[in-house]
Amino acid sequence: MGIDRRDVIKFIVGGAVGSTLTPIPWKLTDDISIWTQNWPWIPTNIGGKNEYTPTVSKLCPSNSGMLLRTVSGRPVRPQGDPDSPLSGGKISSLAAAEAQMLYSPSRVRRPLRKTSDGTYKAVSWAEAEAILSEKLGNATGGVGVISGDENGSMNEVLSALAAGFGSDDCHFMPGSAQAEAVAYNQLMGGEGQPAYDFEKADYVLAIGADVLESWGPVVATRRAYADMRPHGEDPKSTWVYAGAFQTNTAAGADRFVAMRPGAQVALALGVANLLIKEGASATGLSGFASLAAQYTPEKVAEVAGVSPDALQEIAKGLASAQKPLVVVGAEGNEGGSTAAAIAGIACNMLLGSFKAVPYPRTVVQGAMGRGDMLAKDVASYVAGFKGGKAPEVLITYQANPVYALPGSIKTKEAFENVSFKVCFTTYLSETALASDLILPVPHSLEMVDDVATPYGYGKALYAVARPLVPTLVDAKHPGDFLLGLGAKLGKDLGFASYQKVLEAKARAMGANWADVSRGTVYVSDSQASTYGVRVDADAVAKAAAVVEVADLTLCPVMKLNFGTANCGIPPFNLNTIRGDELDSDYLYAHLNASTAKSKGVAQGDVVRISSAAGTVMAKVNIFEGVMDGVVAIPKNFGHTAFDEFTRGKGDNVSALFAVASEPGTQASVWTGQAVELKRA
């Protein structure tokens, strides 16, 4: 029997018609809908036992108290810890992304050594230790330290090790605490750390300090802010923000008072003047009253651009408040004026609201105290590298000076004068890429560490961050590593492990290790004596005299959701960056319409902003919350290291900072930077 073409067609047609009568097509259709839900590349849910473990954030400068949620040991995400005074159950935008940062593409996964051709080669920890021992052993030219962690005990290990090599060149990266430490500890004769008790404060004047976003332990500050403000009712406290840019703090404040960047000292003196006129006084302010008297509302208006009415209103508000508080800080929390810090402390003294807490006691033999380290001027230290004052070995710890130090220092070039740079870091930062040896630090959820009395908090406090998940990469605890290395080099620091350091630290703070190591935060009522504190009116006068009005002044803006110099921009935070803050690869510089008009630029124009130190490219965003004659530029963009989520986004505003020495206090300042702006 032959099969012809017609038979084949009949078979096919018949088969097709027949199969529609079977369940096959319907079943297939149903299956398709199931298949299309289950692609192998779409992650599926992994369940398990939930646990919520308290810890404290070392990633976020706010040191949020957190509960890390783990599912069968797998970290999912941190939430606020209701029992932590640093959290009150709440969390910052940066700490909220901390668990995801365990898997950041820019994590350093193993020790890396720079080869002669400039590339990096993976080395074992033993090799790394050998290299570092050799370099340190031969380090006749001194050992320097730059730390990016202001309140952890790692600084003790680092400074004690440096002391073993006869060096006290241990520095913090620039921050809010420094100007105040120099002011209070060096120039005013005070001991301890000025403390800010935001709780129950019924009048807060923030002079440049971004207290509701980036200044101090901001989650705790914001809890205090929120507690005094019942919803939809008249607030029980008044918050005033004086600054050149309507920051997040301005958005939350009851009153935004425009003040030129860098004019903090003038405004603080103006406030002090009116307070003194109202009859306020304090011991230790001899000579200050006559200096303040020069800062009449008219003078303040001229220098700081603050309207006389606003100044009068502020002074009245402060004078009539039960618990007033004045907080002075620099725009972007760096390069601030020491004289302004003195004037701010003086205001609080006049208001009777000045308080200080003791610096955490050191426990490692030979370690530098926090106050001493804060008094060190990292800007002039690094700038000195080019003048032959470079250390032989420079240790950077969770710090990114190559990216974040003022542009005028030209840190990258300065670093070339250091023969050996070792970088302890969790993420592959610009500084890591300028170092000879990169040593991975475990992520903050992977290692034991501590937070001792963070700057800006009202009380002495001790919290311990615990290793809650196994270390994902080939990282070693830097404390354990350095303690071991020290012992091998004959510089025994007296502790077998970093945890022992923390145990001793807890005792020194008055805390119970068993409690704090389980996540309880220890808070102490101990205060530092403020007896004998006095104001050097002469120094303040000299500094205040040079505050000038530039044609265009820079106002750097820091927001925690932009990330930090150490961790770059966390992938989870990118969504929070608004379309008028970053445009794909261009940063936005914010100007008000009248300033833009005077510069001949319009919305979206690409402009070149330059200072004596460097140049930044940006697009113009017209924002009326910027003072006349001011350009506001966000920080933490323009990275050249890290990963695709961070790199190449915008430009680095630090390039514009030109370091100057403040008359009277001799401190390095780079606030109130004059800049030029031209269409590119």
Partner 1 sequence: MAKPTDYPLLNEGLPRCSFPKFLIWIAVIGIVLAWGGAWMGVIFYEGLGVTALDNYFGFGLWITFDLAVIALGAGAFFTGLLRYILNIDPLKNIINLAVIIGFICYSGAMIVLALDVGQPLRSWFGFWHANVHSMLVEVMFCISCYLMVLAIEFVPIILENRQLDKIPFIHRLSHNFHVIMPLFAGIGAFLSFFHQGSLGGMYGVLFSRPFVFREGFFIWPWTFFLFVLSAVASGPVFTMLIATLIEKMTGRKLVEFRVKAMMGKIAGTMLAIYMFFKIIDTWAWAQGYLPSVGLTFSEMFHGSMYGQWLLWTEIGLCGLVPMVMLLVPSIRNTPSLLYTAAILDCIGITINRYVFTVQALAAPVMPFEDWQIYIPNQAEWAPTFLVIAYGALIISLSYRYLPVFPQEKRLNA
Partner 2 sequence: MASKKEFDIVWGMVIDLDKCTGCGACMVACQAENNVPVTKDATNKLRSLTWLLVYELSNGKPFPDHDVAYLPRPCQQCGNPACVPVCPATVTKKDEEGGIVSQVYPRCFGCRYCMASCPYHVRYFNWFDPVWPEGMEKTLSPDVSVRPRGVVEKCTFCHHRWMHAKDKARVEGRDPYALEQMEYQTACTEACPNGAIHFGDLKNPEHTVHELSKSKYAFRLLERLGMDPQIYYLSRREWVRRLGDNYLDDEKTGDFKVVGGHGHG
**Contacts (CB under 8 A) with partner 2, residues 298-327:** 307
Near partner 1 by CB under 8 A: residue from 1, 21, 22, 29: 29
Return the structure tokens found at 567.
């961790």
Tokens linked to 480: 């354990």
Q: Helix and strand tally (H, E) in the chain?
A: 21, 28
> Could you tell me the CA-to-CA distances from 675 to 411, 616, 655 in Å, in that order?
20, 10, 11
Q: Which is nearer to partner 1, 29 or 119 (CB)?
A: 29
Instruction: Using the rule CB under 8 A, give the single segment among 31-39, 440-448, 544-552, 614-622 that binds partner 1.
Output: 31-39
Separation of alpha carbons 633 and 590, rounded Å: 6
Provide the minimum distance between the beta carbon of 563 and partner 1 in the complex, in angstroms, as a whole number: 25
Q: Is there binding between residue 134 and partner 2 (CB under 8 A)?
A: no
Among 154, 345, 555, 560, binds partner 2 (CB under 8 A): 560
Nearer of residues 21 and 34 to partner 2, judged by Cβ: 34
33 near partner 1 (CB under 8 A): yes
Please tell me the distance from the alpha carbon of residue 127 to that of residue 129, in angstroms, as a whole number.
Answer: 5
Binding mask 634-673 for partner 2 (x = CB under 8 A): ---------xxx----------------------------
Among 237, 333, 398, 592, binds partner 2 (CB under 8 A): 592
Could you say which of partner 1, partner 2, none residue 202 binds, taking C-beta under 5 to 8 angstroms by partner kind?
none
Instruction: List, as own/partner pairs, every contact residues 248-251 make where C-beta atoms lie below 8 angstroms and the sequence separation is at least 24, other chains included.
Output: 248/210, 248/212, 248/213, 248/559, 249/206, 249/209, 249/210, 249/211, 249/212, 249/213, 249/215, 250/625, 251/212
Is residue 584 within the footprint of partner 2 (CB under 8 A)? yes
- Say how many residues touch partner 1, by CB under 8 A: 5
Contact present, 340 and 184 (Cβ < 8 Å): no
**Residue that has been written with the tokens 């603050």 in this structure:** 306
Is 202 among the residues that bind partner 2 (CB under 8 A)? no
Q: How many Å apart are CA 454 and CA 460, to the nearest integer?
A: 8
Q: What is the DSSP string of 222-240?
A: HHHHHHT--TTS--SSEEE
State phi, psi for 462 to the nearest 5 degrees. Answer: -140, 125
Q: Are 202 and 238 in contact, with CB atoms under 8 Å apart?
A: yes
> Which of 9, 12, 24, 32 touches partner 1 (CB under 8 A)?
32
Work out which of 77, 361, 488, 542 binds partner 2, going by CB under 8 A: 77
Q: For residue 239, which of 348, 324, 131 has the smallest C-alpha distance?
A: 324
Work out whether 584 is an interface residue with partner 1 (CB under 8 A): no
- Could you tell me the smallest distance in angstroms from the CB atom of residue 6 to partner 1? 12
Rg (CA), the chain: 28
Find the shortest distance in angstroms from Cβ 520 to partner 2: 21
Residue 32 or 680: the one with the smaller Cβ distance to partner 1 is 32
User: Could you say which of 283, 594, 600, 602 contacts partner 2 (CB under 8 A)?
Assistant: 594
> What is the smallest separation between the CB atom of 36 and partner 1, expressed in angstroms?
5
- For residues 79 and 67, is the Cβ–Cβ distance under 8 A? yes
45 makes contact with partner 2 (CB under 8 A): yes
Helix axes 478-488, 498-509, angle to 10 degrees: 110
The Cα-based distances of 54 to 70, 442, 521, 577 in angstroms read: 11, 18, 9, 28
Using CB under 8 A as the binding rule, whether residue 38 contacts partner 1 is answered as: no
Q: Residue 36, interface with partner 1 (CB under 8 A)? A: yes
Stretch that binds partner 2, among 358-366, 580-588, 610-618, 632-640 (CB under 8 A): 580-588
Shortest distance in whole angstroms from residue 38 CB to partner 1: 12
Q: Binding of partner 2 at residue 104 (CB under 8 A)?
A: yes
Using CB under 8 A as the binding rule, the residues of this chain from 256 to 275 that contact partner 2 are 256, 258
| Interacting residues with partner 1 (CB under 8 A) | 29, 32-33, 35-36
